[in-house]
């Protein structure tokens, strides 16, 4: 299965099948972490033929998604005298993918890179679309670039070792795309009609379509933030310790649904269907808000909150999104009070 992605500067394929033999006539660096390398590096190397090969292993964890890791990776490339024609392979989840893409975008002002995602989240979301970046003390993903890979290879073989909770966090992003864009896809997820490859393909198609229309997140790409406006606040309030990102997004979707109900769009039954699908993957759907004013204030710490205006992405119904920009504080507080 193949999905083509077209941005103003680059067109490339996302291939969903067993990893083919890749022959690269270039010095190549695989950037990965010890967890992924431990399980799957041999498998990758068995499919790879390159001029020269370097494995750059960065520590595992979101807390290492920073300049220190980028500097370390770039220095290894300079040590080995890599050049403009060299290639980086991102081999891991979203953290490795975002960092490898960023490193590729700034090494000698940009070299080629290939994504081989190993988590479901990276397969359906972060490896598609060319957003790269790192965190700093001011927040997540505040430093980075839009930089598209040469190709993305998705092989579901890697999912065999992925912990169940990580798999579910990826499913939260899948469900997000179905609710926003495709009611048939949502129904098929409800009825277990699709193989994991088909689920990934449809998600990638949706994301690719959004990116094709709006690479730099002017309007439509922001629809992918459904659940994220609330989710980011939850991650913040819990110091990024209690929930995986996808789990916070799952709760955030339910909050966005409540806002939609409050505004007279989504029905309570549709909200229940979405919750049921989230619960099928053991994703959380509730959260206790201690102080709704404090929760509300946190919306303004988000980099996506522009000119002090909060933009909410809500489902008008399952399969159709709505962007809400001018909403009074009291309406939002009313929704937040439902989670007390
Ligand atoms: P992750 O990369 O931290 O991976 C989660 C955990 O699973 C890690 O411990 C990892 O080592 C392990 N792992 C990876 N593959 C495995 C496998 N096959 N078997 C067993 N363990 C495996 O997290 P993630 O959820 O993949 O990605 C989250 C990151 O993605 C965040 O930093 C987020 O900002 C970013 N993101 C980026 C975009 C984008 O558009 N660029 C979109 C969404 C998320």
Q: Does residue 125 have its Cβ closer than 6 Å to ligand 1?
A: yes
Angle between helices 164-181 and 268-280 (to 10 degrees): 150
User: What are the tokens at 317?
Assistant: 């119904």
pTM: 0.94
pLDDT attached to residue 309: 76
pLDDT attached to residue 302: 62
Shared domain for 179 and 315, answered yes or no, is yes
pLDDT attached to residue 81: 97
d(CA 56, CA 69): 10
Domain that holds residue 255: 163-337
Shared domain for 35 and 125, answered yes or no, is yes
Instruction: Find out whether 68 and 38 touch, Cβ atoms under 8 Å.
Output: no
Shared domain for 172 and 275, answered yes or no, is yes
Instruction: Find out whether 119 and 170 touch, Cβ atoms under 8 Å.
Output: yes
Is residue 173 part of the annotated active site? The answer reads yes
d(CA 10, CA 150): 8
Q: Does residue 35 have its Cβ closer than 6 Å to ligand 1?
A: yes
> Is 216 a residue whose pLDDT tops 80?
no
Shared domain for 190 and 326, answered yes or no, is yes
Q: Could you tell me the CATH number of the domain that includes residue 207?
A: 1.20.1090.10
> Is 310 a residue whose pLDDT tops 90?
no
d(CA 20, CA 178): 29
Query: Domain end: 124, 143, 160, which one?
Result: 160
Q: Does residue 131 have its Cβ closer than 6 Å to ligand 1?
A: yes
User: What are the tokens at 277?
Assistant: 């699908």
Q: Does residue 173 have its Cβ closer than 6 Å to ligand 1?
A: no
Query: Domain end: 108, 132, 160, which one?
Result: 160
Each residue's pLDDT tens digit, 238-259: 998 999 999 999 999 999 999 9
Instruction: Find out whether 142 and 133 touch, Cβ atoms under 8 Å.
Output: yes
Cβ within 8 Å of residue 6, ≥6 positions away: 212
d(CA 33, CA 55): 10
> Is 230 a residue whose pLDDT tops 70?
yes
Pick the catalytic residue from 109, 137, 218, 290. Answer: 109
Mean pLDDT to the nearest integer, 110-132? 96
d(CA 230, CA 312): 9
Number of domains comprising the chain: 2
Matching residue, tokens 């996808």: 246
> Is 114 a residue whose pLDDT tops 60?
yes
* Ligand 1 atom nearest residue 101's Cα: 41
Pick the catalytic residue from 27, 76, 173, 322. Answer: 173
Distance 257 CA to ligand 1 centre (A): 26
The separation between CA 336 and the C-alpha centre of its own chain, rounded to angstroms, equals: 25
pLDDT attached to residue 221: 83
Question: What's the Cα-to-Cα distance from 170 to each of 122, 165, 324, rounded to whole Å?
Answer: 8, 9, 26
> Is 301 a residue whose pLDDT tops 80?
no
> Is 217 a residue whose pLDDT tops 70?
no
Shared domain for 269 and 210, answered yes or no, is yes
Matching residue, tokens 């119904």: 317
Query: Domain end: 125, 160, 195, which one?
Result: 160
Shared domain for 177 and 323, answered yes or no, is yes
Shared domain for 312 and 177, answered yes or no, is yes
Shared domain for 200 and 142, answered yes or no, is no
Query: Where do the DSSP E strands lie in 127-171?
Result: 131-136, 139-146, 151-154
Q: Which residue out of 5, 121, 156 has the highest number of ligand 1 atoms within 8 Å of its CB and is therefore the one to mutate?
A: 121
Is residue 298 part of the annotated active site? The answer reads no
Q: Does residue 57 have its Cβ closer than 6 Å to ligand 1?
A: no
Shared domain for 24 and 128, answered yes or no, is yes
Mean pLDDT to the nearest integer, 169-174? 98
pLDDT attached to residue 46: 97
Q: Could you tell me the CATH number of the domain that includes residue 94?
A: 3.40.50.1970
Shared domain for 49 and 141, answered yes or no, is yes
Shared domain for 148 and 191, answered yes or no, is no
Higher pLDDT, 155 or 215: 155
108: left (phi over 0), alpha (psi -120 to 50) or beta: left
% of the chain beyond a pLDDT of 70: 97
Shared domain for 200 and 235, answered yes or no, is yes
């Amino acid at each position: 299965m193949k999905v083509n992605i077209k941005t103003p500067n680059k067109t490339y394929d996302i291939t969903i099948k067993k990893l083919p033999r890749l022959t690269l006539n270039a010095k190549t660096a695989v950037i990965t972490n010890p967890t992924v390398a431990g399980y799957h590096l041999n498998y990758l190397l068995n499919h790879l033929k390159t001029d020269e090969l370097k494995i750059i292993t960065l520590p595992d964890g979101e807390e290492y998604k920073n300049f220190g890791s980028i500097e370390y990776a770039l220095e290894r490339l300079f040590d080995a005298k890599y050049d403009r024609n060299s290639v980086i392979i991102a081999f891991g989840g979203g953290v490795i993918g975002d960092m490898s893409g960023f490193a590729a975008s700034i090494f000698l002002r940009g070299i080629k890179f290939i994504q081989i995602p190993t988590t479901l989240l990276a397969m359906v979301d972060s490896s598609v679309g060319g957003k790269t970046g790192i965190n700093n003390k001011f927040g997540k993903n505040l430093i980075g670039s839009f930089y598209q890979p040469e190709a993305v290879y998705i092989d579901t073989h890697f999912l065999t070792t992925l912990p169940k909770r990580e798999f579910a966090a990826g499913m939260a992003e899948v469900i997000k795309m179905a609710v926003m864009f495709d009611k048939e896809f949502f129904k098929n997820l409800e009825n277990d009609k699709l193989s994991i490859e088909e689920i990934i393909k449809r998600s990638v198609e949706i994301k690719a379509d959004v990116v094709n229309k709006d690479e730099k997140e002017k309007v439509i790409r922001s629809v992918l933030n459904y659940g994220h406006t609330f989710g980011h606040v939850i991650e913040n309030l819990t110091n990024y310790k209690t929930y995986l990102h996808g789990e916070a997004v799952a709760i955030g979707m339910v909050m966005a649904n409540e806002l939609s109900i409050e505004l007279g769009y989504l029905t309570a039954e549709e909200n229940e269907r979405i919750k049921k699908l989230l619960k099928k993957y053991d994703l959380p759907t509730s959260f206790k808000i201690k102080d709704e004013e404090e929760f509300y204030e946190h919306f303004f710490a988000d980099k996506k909150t522009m000119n002090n205006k909060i933009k909410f992405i809500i489902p008008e119904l399952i399969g159709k999104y709505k962007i809400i920009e001018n909403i009074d504080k009291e309406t939002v507080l009313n929704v937040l009070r439902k989670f007390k």
